[in-house]
Amino acid sequence: MKLYNSLTREKQVFAPIDPSHIRIYACGPTVYNYAHSCKARMAVVFELLARVLKTLYPRVTYASNITDIDDRIMEAALESGEDISSITQKYTKIYNDDMASLGAAMPDIQPKATEHLPEMISLMENLIAKGHAYEAMGHVLFHVPSDPSYGVLSGRSRDEQIAGARVEISPFKKDPADFVLWKPSTPDQPGWDSPWGRGRPGWHIECSAMVEKHLGLPFDIHGGGADLKFPHHENEIAQSCCAHGTQNDPSSFAKFWVHNGFVTVNGEKMSKSLGNFTLAHDLIKTHKGEVLRLTLLGAHYRQPLDWSDEAIHQSQKQLDGFYSQLHALENVAPSKEDVPTDILEALYDDLNTPLAVSRIHTLIKDETSKEALKGKLLAVGKLLGILQEDPAKWLGYGQDVAGIDGAEIESLLQKRAEAKTAKDFALADSIRKKLDNMGIAIEDTPQGPKWKKK
C-alpha cells in the first residue's frame, strides 16, 4: 500500500513497523457541540483506512480520542448551566451515533483525556527534567527553541510559529513560540492536583500521552484533519520526541502522518460568519447516512470535499443505480467473491476512493456472470461500508409511504392475481389501472408482484 506522508511530503510505500500489528491513531473531537463536518470526514476516512489495512495485515488497532477537557467545554458549561461531564457525555454519544450513521465503526480504542491525567503529568515531568519544558506561575510551558526539529511537519517558519502560538499568557513565556502544557484552575474551574498546583492540561499533551499508553512508540500512522497540522500535530511530535530524547528524529513518534482535506459547502469554506456551517448531524436528519458516506468518499481524502446539494444528489443516484443492480439480481445466488483486484489497487494507492467507486461502475458494465457480479458487488460494498441494505427496501418497494395504505395495495394485488388465475384479464387490467392512478408502480417478478410509490 502507498500513502501520502505529510512528514516527508511524498507518497511512500507503507512499510509497517511490525507487520503482525498495525497501529493507527487519529485526533478525535472536542465534545462540547455537534462535530464539525471535517471531523466526520476524519472519522470516515481513518476507519476506512483501518479496514483497507486489515485486508493486508492480520491485526490493525485504530485509536481515536475524545477531548473532554477544554476551555470551550468550560465556556459551554457556563453558558448552559449544565455540568461539564453531562455536556461531554452527551456530545460523545451524539458524535458516536452520528459516525455510526455514516457507517464508521467505533475505533478499537477511544481514550478520553480526563482518564489520562497521570500519564500527562508524568510526560510533563519528563520534559521538565530534560530541559524541554519549564514551570512559570502555575503553568507548564514547552520551550520551543529546545527542539531543533520544531516546524518539521508544518514547514512553518519561526515567525509563523510565533504568530500561531497563543499570546494571552505571554508574560510567562521564555520564548514567544512556547506553548502551554498545563495551566492553573481557579477553585470553580475543573482541575486536578499536580506538582505545579491544581490545574488542567492544555490540549496538545493529551494525544502524546494517550497514543504512547495505548499504541506504544513509535507507531505506524497518525491521522487527523489538515487543520490540525499546526500547531497541534507539530506540538505532539515535539512533546513525544523530546520526552524520549529523539528530537533529531521526528519519525520516532509516528512514521506516517496522514491528513484529510477541508470540507467546503457549495465551493466555499465553511464558517459561522458565512452562515454555511453544515454539520453532519443535521445532514443525517434529511439524507440517508449511506448517501452522505458515499459523498464523503466521492472525493479523494486529501482534496477538499464539497458538501454541495449536487454532490449529495449524485451519490444518491449512484447508490440507487448500484441497488437497482442488486435488486435485479435478487434471485441470483452470489458466488463467493473477493473484492476485485482493480478496486483494491485503487484503495492501496493512497486510499483512492473516487477511483474505487468508478471501478464499481466498470464492474457492473463488464462482469458477465450474474453470480460473480452479485458476489463482487457485495464484497466491495462491505469493504467500503455501502450496499448492505435490502435493495427492495432501499428502492422503496413495498414501503408504506405517506398517503398510501400498504395493506390496501397488498389486497388489490391479491385480487389482481386471483383475476389472472381465473383468466379474467379485464378485471386484472382494471386493478392495475386503479393502482396506477393511486401512484403505485408494479413490477412483476418470479416471486410475485412488487410495488413502490412512483
Q: Which residues of this protein are in contact with Zn ion, per CB under 5 A?
A: 27, 207
The full length of the chain comes to: 454
Supply the DSSP string of 231-275, one letter for each residue: IIIHHHHHHHHHHTT-TT-GGGTEEEEEEE--EEETTEE--TTTT
Q: How far apart are CA 72 and CA 77, in angstroms?
A: 9
Q: Please answer whether residues 277 and 329 qualify as being in contact, where contact means their C-beta atoms are separated by less than 8 angstroms.
A: no
Cβ of residue 88: shortest distance to Zn ion, in angstroms? 17
Place of cell 501520502: 4
Nearer to Zn ion, 27 or 180 (CB): 27
Nearer to Zn ion, 5 or 65 (CB): 65
Cell of 58: 492480520
Cβ of residue 155: shortest distance to Zn ion, in angstroms? 19
Nearer to Zn ion, 42 or 373 (CB): 42
Query: Residue 213: exposed, middle, or buried by beta-carbon count in 10 A (0-12, 13-18, 19+)?
Result: middle
Cβ of residue 207: shortest distance to Zn ion, in angstroms? 3
Q: Which helix (H) or strand (E) element contains residue 142?
A: strand 139-142
Nearer to Zn ion, 29 or 289 (CB): 29
Q: How far apart are CA 261 and CA 243, in angstroms?
A: 30
Place of cell 464508521: 104
Nearer to Zn ion, 98 or 206 (CB): 206
Nearer to Zn ion, 207 or 215 (CB): 207
Cβ of residue 116: shortest distance to Zn ion, in angstroms? 12
Cβ of residue 214: shortest distance to Zn ion, in angstroms? 13
Q: How far apart are CA 286 and CA 271, in angstroms?
A: 21
Nearer to Zn ion, 109 or 355 (CB): 109
Cβ of residue 206: shortest distance to Zn ion, in angstroms? 7
Q: How far apart are CA 138 and CA 181, in angstroms?
A: 11
Q: What is the CA radius of gyration of the chain?
A: 27
Q: How far apart are CA 74 and CA 51, in angstroms?
A: 36
Cβ of residue 113: shortest distance to Zn ion, in angstroms? 10
445 backbone dihedrals φ, ψ, rounded to 5°: -125, 165
Q: How far apart are CA 212 and CA 127, in angstroms?
A: 15
Q: How far apart are CA 203 and CA 67, in angstroms?
A: 8
Cβ of residue 232: shortest distance to Zn ion, in angstroms? 5
298 backbone dihedrals φ, ψ, rounded to 5°: -75, -15
Nearer to Zn ion, 27 or 237 (CB): 27
Q: Give the bridge partners for 184, in sequence order.
A: 199
Cβ of residue 227: shortest distance to Zn ion, in angstroms? 12
Place of cell 476506512: 48
Nearer to Zn ion, 210 or 346 (CB): 210
